[in-house]
């Protein structure tokens, strides 16, 4: 079987990505300066990138998805095309998947299956999921990793980094982009490791968490290299749950927010893939969470400083906000003084983001003015952009919080975020955190 999902040789993946970069560079040499022509240029570039990355799947497609989340920093036409990567990936034919399973499962494992549906339940950048029934009557989900994606992670990240630098689409210094790519590479290496995902799924099942959060349970006897089998936990997708009564949607959204806060500040293990397809809802008020390939361990230092920045922000303590960003490594010069220009940036972000969250609870996630105001604040800060730098350790935390917002916006929910932020600010700044574990969870109990 070929070493990637579309029978493209491993080196061919890199050639295809770099060819897209060369085409981007070629289009940019004589790039016009009128807004209309520039928009058409980035639309063509985006369509080219979409076609290339969606076909390759794996880390290449995953990075394209992540880039689309920086819509406020990218040309809008490029962001729109990359946003299309968030939709389900085109699945592999059942014949290819069955051949993979034949390689990975023994006859004894096959004998435990009564039936497996050849039509995938879901497909994504790393693999696809099929519903199956065991001979004992249990329904299970069989997740199969696409061939070649595990071996291609490093090359994909390296080549996508080159593509981003050629296009010059993110206003980042070379060292900052390299640091962010290193963090992305680490998470993607973990995401293609289905044995690690099995361990983390077992870990989450063992963690104390808010009542009413359901995680699938691994079926250890059927897990194999590149194959993860779990209990099947059905629920309604967000687009269906959106039609439910408002009080039920609000209850589900509150449960989601409390789960995120507990994961981030109590447990130190954060589910960091906020794709809407990774969540489902039940009419009894329970939340179901799928796909534990991308999990970020949050250190005690980051926990402490996140509490500190919430406390300073709620108090309007801009010097405290500035000092906390310095300790987190978010300032280009860690000990840079607080200038009037930076104080204005902090105040504008507070007014645009925290203001609506705190005023007249509950916060309406479908508030049509929230995103435009937030984007205005971000764009207004661009002249001061060089005063800041990204924090790789928080990249997936911010991805989770951003994705969570969009999930609850789709649910059209209302949540009292003010009381939750105030509770976070009231936490003891030196409270011990449950994060002193190995970076890889202990093997799940057999």
Is residue 117 within 8 Å of residue 132, measured between CB atoms? Answer: yes
Give backbone dihedrals phi and psi of 172, rounded to 5 degrees, phi first. Answer: -120, 145
Give the model confidence (pLDDT) of 262-313 as tens digits: 999 999 999 999 988 999 999 999 999 999 999 999 999 999 999 999 999 9
Higher pLDDT, 305 or 19: 305
Lowest mean pLDDT among 120-124, 213-217, 305-309: 120-124
What the block records as the tokens of 72 is 């406020």
Find which of 96-100, 211-215, 424-428 is predicted with most confidence, using mean pLDDT.
96-100
Is residue 157 within 8 Å of residue 188, measured between CB atoms? Answer: yes
Arithmetic mean of pLDDT over the chain? 85
Which pLDDT band, with edges at 50, 70 and 90, does 436 fall under?
very low
pTM: 0.85
- Residue 435: predicted pLDDT: 45
Instruction: Using alpha carbons only, give the angle 267, 269, 274 rounded to the nearest 5 degrees.
Output: 125
Compute the residue count for the chain. 446
What the block records as the tokens of 289 is 């969470």
- Residue 171: predicted pLDDT: 66
Residue 187 to residues 60, 236, 271, Cα–Cα distance (Å)? 13, 28, 12
Please tell me the number of Cα atoms within 13 Å of 183 on its side-chain side. Answer: 19
Query: To the nearest whole percent, how much of the chain has pLDDT over 90?
Result: 55
- Calculate mean pLDDT across residues 110-119: 97
Is residue 379 within 8 Å of residue 72, measured between CB atoms? Answer: yes
Instruction: Report d(CA 317, CA 306) in Å as an integer.
Output: 14
Which pLDDT band, with edges at 50, 70 and 90, does 414 fall under?
very high
Is residue 303 within 8 Å of residue 265, measured between CB atoms? Answer: yes
CA 202 to chain centre: 20
CA torsion 228-229-234-235 (nearest 10°) is -20
- Residue 163: predicted pLDDT: 75
Instruction: Report d(CA 298, CA 317) in Å as an integer.
Output: 25
Instruction: Report d(CA 333, CA 349) in Å as an integer.
Output: 20
Spatial CA neighbour of 185 closest among 205, 155, 163 = 155
Spatial CA neighbour of 437 closest among 294, 274, 267, 320 = 267
Instruction: Report d(CA 381, CA 319) in Å as an integer.
Output: 17
């Amino acid at each position: 079987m070929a070493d990637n999902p579309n029978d493209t040789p491993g080196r061919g993946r890199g050639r295809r990505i770099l060819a897209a970069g060369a085409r981007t560079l070629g289009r940019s040499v004589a790039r016009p300066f009128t807004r209309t022509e520039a928009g058409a240029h980035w639309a063509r570039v985006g369509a080219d990138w979409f076609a290339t990355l969606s076909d390759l799947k794996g880390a290449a497609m995953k990075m394209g998805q992540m880039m689309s989340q920086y819509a406020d920093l990218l040309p809008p036409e490029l962001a729109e095309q990359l946003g299309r990567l968030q939709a389900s990936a085109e699945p592999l034919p059942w014949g290819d998947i069955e051949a993979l399973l034949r390689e990975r499962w023994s006859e004894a494992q096959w004998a435990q299956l009564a039936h497996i549906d050849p039509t995938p339940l879901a497909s994504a950048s790393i693999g696809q999921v099929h519903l199956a029934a065991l001979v004992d009557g249990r329904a299970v989900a069989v997740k199969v990793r696409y061939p070649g994606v595990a071996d291609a992670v490093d090359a994909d990240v390296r080549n996508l980094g080159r593509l981003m630098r050629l296009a010059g689409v993110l206003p980042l210094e070379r060292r900052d982009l390299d640091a962010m790519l290193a963090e992305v590479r680490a998470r993607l290496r973990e995401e293609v490791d289905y044995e690690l995902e099995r361990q983390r799924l077992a870990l989450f099942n063992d963690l104390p968490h808010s009542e009413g959060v359901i995680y699938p349970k691994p079926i250890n006897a059927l897990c194999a290299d590149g194959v993860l089998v779990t209990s099947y936990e059905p629920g309604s997708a967000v687009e269906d749950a959106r039609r439910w009564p408002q009080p039920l949607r609000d209850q589900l959204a509150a449960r989601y927010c409390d789960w995120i806060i507990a994961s981030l500040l109590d447990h130190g293990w954060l589910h960091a893939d906020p794709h809407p397809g990774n969540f489902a809802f039940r009419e009894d008020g329970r939340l179901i969470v799928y796909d534990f390939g991308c999990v970020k361990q949050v250190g005690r230092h980051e926990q402490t400083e996140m509490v500190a920045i919430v406390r300073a922000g709620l108090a309007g303590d801009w010097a405290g906000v500035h000092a906390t960003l310095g300790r987190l490594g978010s300032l280009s010069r860690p000990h840079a003084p607080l200038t009037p220009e930076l104080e204005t940036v902090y105040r504008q972000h507070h007014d645009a983001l925290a203001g609506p969250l705190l005023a007249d609870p509950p916060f309406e996630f479908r508030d049509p003015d929230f995103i435009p105001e937030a984007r205005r604040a971000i764009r207004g800060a661009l002249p001061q952009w060089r005063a800041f730098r990204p924090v790789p350790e928080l990249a997936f935390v911010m991805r989770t919080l951003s994705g969570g917002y969009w999930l609850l916006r789709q649910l059209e929910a209302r949540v009292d975020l003010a009381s939750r932020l105030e509770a976070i600010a009231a936490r003891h700044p030196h409270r011990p955190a449950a994060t002193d574990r190995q970076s890889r969870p202990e093997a799940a109990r057999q």
